[in-house]
Amino acid sequence: MPDNITYTRVDAFYEDLFIKEDAHLIHALETSAAKKLPPIAVPPLHGKFLNMLVAMCGAKRVLEIGTLGGYSALCMAKALPDDGKLITLENNPVMLEVAQGNFDFAGEIGDRIELRAGEALETLAQMEEMGEAPFDFIFIDANKPRNPQYIDYAVKFARPGTVIIADNVVRGGDVVDRESSDFSVIGIQKMSDYIANHPDLEATTLQTASAKGLDGMTIVRAK
């Protein structure tokens, strides 16, 4: 069976071919490592995937739940038009500081990004109250046990055609254990059941192998 060493070598092979050197993204990874953020940013090939999806959707308004050090936000913001906007939600003070620094470093790209501090469920409730929807593209990559609530807001904030991506939906295969007591697994399962049973959503899941191991993304389209 292929292992993480193989996945890492394949990542390196395709990163070498398809990932152009980008000072903003390199800076984001370097500052994230220097500040000891968990090394769980999306892999570069997935960041490029998000970038291309935003471009292919022609998205102008993007919402990200879970900023970490801002790597994925920068990947997506690079695909926005000049008048596009990405709102990203984070609660961890160290992550907020690292991410804001990375957005500032990214100049005009960073100017497209608004980092909102606070517990995401509270920020999302405020956003609903303020009528900030709809968004064209929504990336859910935060506290996995809260994914059922996050997907509910994502659907409320969608319009027909909005694309919603949820990261880390495979978790090394643990997702298939319906008896699991892992709150992250349970959160992913509940979110997936919600999506499956929602009449206005269609979805598929891509399993992904990367240097981070086996995982996956669920891709949802609001009908």
Q: Which stretch binds Mg ion (CB under 5 A): 46-54, 57-65, 120-128, 139-147?
A: 139-147
Residue 131 C-beta: closest distance to ligand DHB, Å: 29
Single-letter amino acid code for the residue at 154: A
> Token match 């596009």: residue?
84
Residue 62 C-beta: closest distance to ligand DHB, Å: 17
Binding residues with Mg ion: total (CB under 5 A):
3
Q: Binding residues for ligand DHB, per CB under 6 A?
A: 40, 141, 167-168
215 binds Mg ion (CB under 5 A): no
Query: 214 — alpha (psi -120 to 50), left (phi > 0) or beta?
Result: beta
Residue closer to ligand DHB (CB basis): 90 or 141:
141
Residue closer to ligand DHB (CB basis): 11 or 167:
167
Q: Which stretch binds Mg ion (CB under 5 A): 5-13, 18-26, 124-132, 141-149?
A: 141-149
Beta bridge partners of 61: 85
90 binds Mg ion (CB under 5 A): no
Residue closer to ligand DHB (CB basis): 29 or 40:
40
Residue among 11, 64, 90, 167 that touches Mg ion (CB under 5 A): 167
